[in-house]
Amino acid sequence: MTDVERTTMRASLRETWRKWPRWVGPATLCWAVVQGGLALVWALAGRPLADRGAAPRPAAADMSRPTADWFVFAVTVLAAVAVPAAARYRERPAVRALPWVACGLSVASAFGLLMDVLGLLLGQGVDSPPAAVQHALGLLGAVLLAATARSHRSAACGRCGGAHEKVIRPAPSAAPRRVHLFAYAGTLAFLPYAAMKVTWATGGAFAGVSSAEMHADSERNGASGLWLTLDSWGLDPTALLAALGVFLLFGLIRPWGQVFPRWTLILRDRRVPRWLPLTPALIGTATLVPYGVLGSGYLALATAGALPVRRGDFHSDADVLLVGWIGATAFALYGVALLVAARSYWLRTRPVCPPR
């Protein structure tokens, strides 16, 4: 391909992207057909197709999987109805809100995507390939539905709502003080979790479980070679990922998170593409907030004695509740902080019209 052809292709792609309000609606409907079709097939099958012929799973798993598939199918039906309705009756606020409702439900259907990504990164694979595909499509649908909900307005300008040939990206800026407070709370919530994990990784004991027992449990539960190697070096993978999560969180609220370091030559103007930090932030929020909030609800009922406590690899109910509260609190507070920081980043980096 010649330089002229590359330049022409880039110009064509930029022009297509600039006209996204015209094609995002049909793209969302195509997504609904694919996602809804897969969910319907898997729901009627009664279990993920990739599991056929495998060892039988627990009855609870067989019941929960079709339920999730029917939920996803219902979300896609709502999306298929909401997209054309919002385009035709855009003057009615209740109808315009339907794509946003479907967007929120689609985010819920992406629950577990973070665990799938981490499993792939750490060489452990995913628990269910069909479920992983469904989680990824759920996130894609949430993005498309959010874009569709905004497509009745101009996609370019975040200031006046008008269309412009050229727009300006605002200068890097810090988030408001209240957003910083959320980020500090989310970071502090991770400290007990990281301390617990580092204690086990460095040979200590916590909640009645020694480092050797935890390593043996990880090996018995099918941890990958990379996971076990890092653990043997005293580096707990989840603690490392928590550190990366905190780095992402502060990148969303500080000006340096909008600019590449000077030593990089990735972009000519050294500006970070908006999707680069927002994609992991959305994935993390879709998994951690439901996990932390629902987990906290379960732990509250278990602490009150209303629900039984599953000990698993621990030796007492108190140990399970201690570890559970540390994890659920960290995930819930960090997930909410990540959501708030991502929203602030989105608003602060929106392209705006040139001043008149």
| Rg value, the chain, Cα | 23
**pLDDT (0 to 100) of residue 189:** 92
> Which amino acid is it at 333?
L
Residues 100-123, mean pLDDT to the nearest whole number: 82
Which of the given ranges, 220-224, 308-312, 340-344, has the highest pLDDT on average? 340-344
C-alpha 330: how far from chain center:
16
Mean per-residue pLDDT of the chain = 80
Angle at 228 between CA 226 and CA 232, to 5 degrees: 115
pLDDT at 52: 35
Alpha-carbon span 296 to 290, nearest angstrom = 10
Q: Residue 303's closest CA among 275, 279, 324? A: 324
State the angle between helix axes of 113-121 and 129-150 in degrees (0 to 180), rounded to the nearest 10. Answer: 130
pLDDT in tens, 201-226: 888 888 888 888 887 877 776 677 77
Phi, psi of 207 (to 5 degrees): 55, 40
Q: Are 230 and 236 in contact (CB under 8 A)?
A: yes
pLDDT of 90 strictly over 90: no
| Domain positions in the chain | 3-150, 177-348
Mean pLDDT is highest, among 39-53, 267-281, 301-315, for: 301-315
In which residue are the tokens 């980020």 written? 183
Helices (H), the chain: 3-18, 20-45, 59-88, 93-96, 98-109, 113-121, 129-150, 177-201, 211-220, 225-232, 237-253, 275-303, 317-348
Pairwise pLDDT comparison (132 vs 47), residue with the higher score: 132
Q: 86: which 2 tokens?
A: 């919002």
DSSP letter string over 41-83? HHHHHTS-GGGTTSPPPPHHHHHHHHHHHHHHHHHHHHHHHHH
Q: What is the pLDDT of residues 268-284, one digit of tens each?
A: 556 777 888 988 898 88
Higher pLDDT, 2 or 278: 278
End-to-end Cα distance, the chain? 41
More confidently predicted of 193 and 87: 193
Does residue 271 contact residue 170 with C-beta atoms inside 8 Å? no
Q: What angle separates helix 3-18 from helix 20-45, to the nearest 10 degrees?
A: 80
Q: How far apart are CA 35 and CA 29, in angstroms?
A: 10
| CA–CA dist 150, 70 (Å, integer) | 27
Average pLDDT over residues 125-150: 86
CA angle 65, 69, 70 (to 5 degrees): 120
Q: What is the mean pLDDT of residues 157-173?
A: 66
Are 141 and 11 contacting, i.e. CB atoms less than 8 angstroms apart?
no
At 217 the pLDDT is 77
